[in-house]
Structure 1
Amino acid sequence: MAAGLPGLSKSDAVPEPMFGEGENWALRLHWLANIIATPFLKPWFYQRLRAGKEDPVRFRERLGFPSQPAAARPIVWVHAHGSQAASAARTLIDSLSDRHLVLATTVTRPAAEYLTSRLPPSALHQYAPVDHPHAVCRFLDHWRPAALLWVDSPFSPNLLGEAARRNIPAALVNARLGDMAFRHLIWRKPLYRPLSRTFALITAQSGRDAARLRLLSGRHVYRFGNLQYARPQPQVDEISAAALKRQLNKRLTWAAVYTHPGEEELVAEAHREIRRRFPEAVLLLAPRHGHRIAEIARRLAKTDGVARPAAGIPIDETTSIALLEGPLDAALACRMAPVAFLGGSFVASGGHNPLELAHLGCAVVSGPQVQNYIDPMAELQAAGAVQMVQDSRGLAVAVARLLKDLNFARQRAAAAERVAAQEWIAMTRLLSAIGPILPRL
């Protein structure tokens, strides 16, 4: 299979260096190292395919080969590396697509799954090319974007360098630098600082992020807030909601959404404890990555009655846990339940956006690992709108308390909704700031 991978041959013509004479030595060294490493890309990429890290159907896009024809009119390119960036980019894409054709690119499969199911008609998705000169040039030769919006994503030196060489106007949008990323980039300032000059505009999520970006880039950094918080209420498919409601048949329900490996067992343990008090209770479980559903079902079925409505295994009187596996099913689970546990918070993933749950009107319970969402979590806690727990036992106690007193759960949910409604509305200011780099209509 590796031998059949296109676009990674030593015989490919070597592109011209992507940085002009006198450019930073670190950028030129990075470019040269990628050219020298070309023979090793085939086994590296094959290993990623075997590990499920690349899309086996669309992997050619990662090598710069498009799967769709070039656009006939100017296109605005919005890049988001992973799921968290894609969540923020979605708000931007929705706003831009009213007037512009948008090309959305992602790197990870979960981010691609998230965006492709939510893109408006005037936007299309491709996987971003690997940061190798051959793939980068193929991608840019085909799409010829009129502007680039780089949303909260790691820098790709070859891609950004070639975009700059082609005079593609660019902005770094919704940038964030956590503690680990900041410590890492301090030692890579010779590479980071010249890359930051690629952008005509840099915007940060918070004051702390802006200060760190200024230190690394030597540039002025604007703070417009976090685009993830400006998003409207997540959409729920009403037909699916009605079907699920019929299957639940008024049984007491709670939800666990965006769970990661290792969390499903902890949540199931808490649910078994809850069922000792509420024997008819059903847990709606929507994991972060839908492709893990079959594996999760096999594990949980050893101890619990498991339903998979999307796979034709409906909820019945024997069901204890119902697995929801579609890209919109986290919102669906929260619509059905008065209480929801926010996954990614019992493992070292940094958590997920609690305001998504707040918008949906359910009381939020979270574990302690919320490093990626410190600000909204602090606001929710100050408003008495979220319950923080340390383990599965604490989760069982918190959820049982809310299920016992649904009026109290509704009060918590209303407080969370108020916090979500008062969050930064960054989109209008951001669109005004990036207006000069967007193509004229």
Structure 2
Amino acid sequence: MTRAAFAAYRLAGLVAYPLLRPYVGWRASRGKEDKLRRKERYGVAGQARPQVGPLVWVHAASVGETVAVAPLIRAIAADGLSVVMTTGTTTSAQLVEERLADCVIHQYVPLDVRPAVRRFLNHWQPDLAMVAESEIWPLTIHELAIRRIPQILVNARLSDRSFQRWKAKPRLAEALFENFAQVVAQSDVDAERFRLLGAPAVTMAGNLKADAGPLPAEAAFLDQFDAALGSRPRFAAISTHPGEEEIVAQVHGMLKSRHEGLLTIIVPRHVDRASAIVKMLADKGLTVRRRSLGEMPDAQTDIFLADTMGELGVYLRLTEIAFIGKSITGQGGQNPMEAAMLATGILSGRYVQNFRDTYQRLLKNGGARLVRDADTLAAQVDGLLVDPMQRMAMAGAALRSIDEMRGALGRTLIALDPFLHPLRLSVRLERRGRVAGDP
């Protein structure tokens, strides 16, 4: 059954391969792919492989994973190892360029079809492959296993939903997860789940994001937006999902008469929903300005719609109150750590099971509060806007929670040492050989 399922997956990839070019081209036309680097998605290298020395391949799907593994990558590169880093989005590619260009070669991750994966591996010939969080690509895992390249899952997590899906297909799960030489999990719950699914070696190190530092903010936009806001009261709703923007709009309507000049910042999780959100807000009689159109809020603006990618660090620096979405109408929540690192009081719905450990710590320390609906969200925002001491207490508790979670980087490096140590020795031997061979 497992062999048949994998064969079907591989065949489907081969059949779909000719159709992927138009699809990738369509994504590029919408700004979701880099037009000048589309060939990398088919495994065609955009740069040369370093001529000597071992090479580590690190994959991080998008911005969140990239931020989390950045300190780990710097630690690996500091030992003289070459790193090729792949990501799947243009915003994460930009982040790599800004934060890691001096120590990695960036490529877009190849599509999980045999021609693309083989082309990628034939060129880069990695000695070790590391994947962040929960990216499971069957064909890529299979090709790495054939080549006997060790595979490691770092900062690994499995949501309740993903775990149930894999649990329903135990033989397929085991056939994939048994290929990981090491799984370094975020929590004890995640670690146990990977063991149950067949991973042979699992350790728990904590969440790398706690060691990664706050999200960046482009200075010019930060200053421009700060000037536009002035002293207006404001709160942000970030990573919102369908239905939550309506709740936030209701909250704004309840509070605008109590807090003169109130501005609500909405940062939807998926910016391609922006037009529908604007229409909904306009139907409610709210005045909206959009970041994607280069607009700034003025005195009449009710809602600022942050419908671009990669600028969350600006909004979190300019508000002390943040509702984090996918937690009232959505299921599972979104990661609150970015907000906590920037001393923001966190409000959330009750459905945060994907980040259970982080929320438990924040709630225990007083850095987060849970709400049920528009009424309870409005009450919490109202109280925090009225009382700056409450806001300061929540911000301090959020920062304290992050401090308590630090240390994952060191524990992860310890777990990786059996795989990195031979590569470091290889680098040293090569250096000694070059020195000995000098005239």
TM-score under structure 2 length normalisation:
0.84
Q: In structure 1, what residue type is equivalent to 2:181?
A: A
Instruction: Measure the CA separation in 2 of the matches of 1:45 and 1:90.
Output: 31
Instruction: Measure the CA separation in 2 of the matches of 1:129 and 1:27.
Output: 23
Instruction: Measure the CA separation in 2 of the matches of 1:53 and 1:172.
Output: 29
Match of 1:183 in 2: 164
Q: CA offsets per residue over residues 67-100 of structure 1, 9 Å max, x none? A: 3443445432112345554443344334434444
Q: Which secondary structure does the structure 2 equivalent of 1:222 belong to? A: strand
2:14 to 25, 35, 38: 38
Q: 1:29/1:299 Cα in 2 relative to 1: closer, same or farther (>3 Å)?
A: closer
Match of 1:169 in 2: 150
Q: Which secondary structure does the structure 2 equivalent of 1:229 belong to? A: helix
Q: CA offsets per residue over residues 314-367 of structure 1, 9 Å max, x none? A: 222112222334544222112111211112223325222212111111211112
> Which piece of structure 1 moves more, 107-116 or 150-159?
107-116
Match of 2:2 in 1: 26
Q: In structure 2, what residue type is equivalent to 1:371?
A: Q
Match of 1:419 in 2: 401
Q: 1:133/1:315 Cα in 2 relative to 1: closer, same or farther (>3 Å)?
A: same
Match of 1:369 in 2: 351
- 1:55 paired to 2:33: yes
Instruction: Measure the CA separation in 2 of the matches of 1:109 and 1:350.
Output: 25
Instruction: Measure the CA separation in 1 of the matches of 2:397 and 2:352.
Output: 19
1:436 to 418, 431, 435: 418
1:132 to 105, 113, 123: 113
Q: Which secondary structure does the structure 2 equivalent of 1:200 belong to? A: strand
Percent identity, please.
32
How big is the shift at 1:377? 0.7
- 1:152 paired to 2:133: yes
1:337-356 aligned at under 5 Å gives the runs 337-356=319-338
2:176 to 195, 208, 222: 195
Q: Which secondary structure does the structure 1 equivalent of 2:180 belong to? A: coil
Instruction: Measure the CA separation in 2 of the matches of 1:308 and 1:230.
Output: 33
Q: Which secondary structure does the structure 2 equivalent of 1:378 belong to? A: helix
Q: 1:335/1:43 Cα in 2 relative to 1: closer, same or farther (>3 Å)?
A: same
Instruction: Measure the CA separation in 2 of the matches of 1:112 and 1:278.
Output: 40
Q: 1:53/1:161 Cα in 2 relative to 1: closer, same or farther (>3 Å)?
A: farther
> Which piece of structure 1 moves more, 158-167 or 40-49?
40-49
CA contact (8 A) 1:49 1:56 kept: no
Match of 2:373 in 1: 391
Q: In structure 1, what residue type is equivalent to 2:46?
A: S
Q: 1:240/1:59 Cα in 2 relative to 1: closer, same or farther (>3 Å)?
A: same
Match of 1:281 in 2: 262
How big is the shift at 1:131? 2.2
1:253-268 aligned at under 5 Å gives the runs 253-268=234-249
> Which piece of structure 1 moves more, 324-333 or 368-377?
324-333
1:224-373 aligned at under 5 Å gives the runs 224-293=205-274, 296-302=277-283, 303-308=285-290, 311-373=293-355
CA contact (8 A) 1:27 1:157 kept: no
CA contact (8 A) 2:207 2:405 kept: no
Instruction: Measure the CA separation in 2 of the matches of 1:363 and 1:295.
Output: 28
Instruction: Measure the CA separation in 2 of the matches of 1:94 and 1:264.
Output: 38
Q: 1:108/1:242 Cα in 2 relative to 1: closer, same or farther (>3 Å)?
A: closer
Q: 1:66/1:301 Cα in 2 relative to 1: closer, same or farther (>3 Å)?
A: farther
> Which piece of structure 1 moves more, 403-412 or 26-35?
26-35
Instruction: Measure the CA separation in 2 of the matches of 1:298 and 1:48.
Output: 29
Instruction: Measure the CA separation in 1 of the matches of 2:201 and 2:322.
Output: 40
How big is the shift at 1:31? 4.1
1:80 to 60, 72, 82: 60
Q: 1:207/1:111 Cα in 2 relative to 1: closer, same or farther (>3 Å)?
A: same
> Which piece of structure 1 moves more, 102-111 or 351-360?
102-111
Q: Which secondary structure does the structure 1 equivalent of 2:350 belong to? A: coil
Instruction: Measure the CA separation in 2 of the matches of 1:332 and 1:54.
Output: 22
How big is the shift at 1:108? 5.7
Instruction: Measure the CA separation in 2 of the matches of 1:46 and 1:98.
Output: 40
Gaps of 5+ in 2: 428-439
Q: Which secondary structure does the structure 2 equivalent of 1:276 belong to? A: coil
CA contact (8 A) 2:62 2:92 kept: yes
Q: In structure 1, what residue type is equivalent to 2:166?
A: L
Instruction: Measure the CA separation in 2 of the matches of 1:36 and 1:304.
Output: 47
Q: Which secondary structure does the structure 2 equivalent of 1:247 belong to? A: helix
Q: In structure 1, what residue type is equivalent to 2:381?
A: V
How big is the shift at 1:429? 1.9
> Which piece of structure 1 moves more, 410-419 or 60-69?
60-69
How big is the shift at 1:181? 2.2
Q: CA offsets per residue over residues 397-436 of structure 1, 9 Å max, x none? A: 1101100111111111111111111114110121132133
Instruction: Measure the CA separation in 1 of the matches of 2:286 and 2:77.
Output: 45
Count of aligned pairs: 417
Q: CA offsets per residue over residues 191-214 of structure 1, 9 Å max, x none? A: 333433433322212112222222
CA contact (8 A) 1:80 1:153 kept: no
Q: In structure 2, what residue type is equivalent to 1:63?
A: Y
1:101-112 aligned at under 5 Å gives the runs 101-107=82-88
Instruction: Measure the CA separation in 2 of the matches of 1:258 and 1:119.
Output: 25
Instruction: Measure the CA separation in 1 of the matches of 2:411 and 2:252.
Output: 44
How big is the shift at 1:175? 2.0
How big is the shift at 1:378? 1.0
Structure with the higher fraction of residues in helix conformation: 2
Instruction: Measure the CA separation in 2 of the matches of 1:60 and 1:199.
Output: 28
